[in-house]
Amino acid sequence: MPYIVTSECLLCGACISGCDSDAITEGETQAIIDVEICIECGTCKSNCPSDAIIFENED
């Protein structure tokens, strides 16, 4: 469960358009990262203006 979108998301779309792997879609209240597609490049985290994307280790 590495890169995760939190409730800080404003649905600005920056992460969606910036994801080269098309791993992010727009949910009802926030963006959603498909962990099966995500290659963990970290671009979305850098692009997010509200620091809504966090990296979480699986443990």
Of 25-54, binders to ligand SF4 (CB under 6 A) are 30-31, 33, 38-44, 47-48, 50, 52-53
- The pair of structure tokens assigned to 6 is 């939190």
Q: How far is the CB of 17 from ligand SF4 (least distance, A)?
A: 9
Q: Angle CA(55)–CA(46)–CA(41) in degrees, nearest 5?
A: 60
Q: Which of 4, 7, 12, 58 binds ligand SF4 (CB under 6 A)?
A: 12
Total site size for ligand SF4, rule CB under 6 A? 28
Largest pairwise CA distance in the chain: 30
